[in-house]
Amino acid sequence: MVKVLVKMILKENQINDLKTLVPELVAETRKESGCIQYQLIQDRDNNNIFFFVEEWDSSSSLEKHMNSPHFHRAMPRLEKIQAVPMEINVCNLFI
């Protein structure tokens, strides 16, 4: 099992743009073979901070996701609304 935690900090006034960008990415990703969980959550104290919380059955499923058309469509658009580059942590279950 592979867990992915992605921290994304948006530029000011970009939340509405995010709302238009992510529905396709989330919906299509959740349909992918090997996707156990795929969520986008928002920080309670800073509305411009978001986290993708992902769980995949294997590294190969994650790799297929990162090569999918919907991933490649979304990433350049997401990069434009970020204040800083995404912080991506790919993790293995420890306990």
For strands 35-42 and 87-92, give the pairing. Answer: unpaired
pLDDT digits (tens, 9 = 90+) for 70-89: 999 999 999 999 999 999 99
Within the chain, strands assigned E span 2-9, 35-42, 49-56, 87-92
Torsion angles phi and psi, residue 45, rounded to 5: -95, -25
Specify the pTM: 0.92
For each of the domains in the chain, give its residue range(s) and CATH number, in order of start: 2-92 (3.30.70.100)
Q: Which residues make Cβ contacts (< 8 Å) with residue 33, sequence separation at least 6?
A: 61, 64
The number of CA neighbours under 13 Å toward the Cβ of 87 is 9
44-63 pLDDT, tens digit per residue, is 999 999 999 999 999 999 99
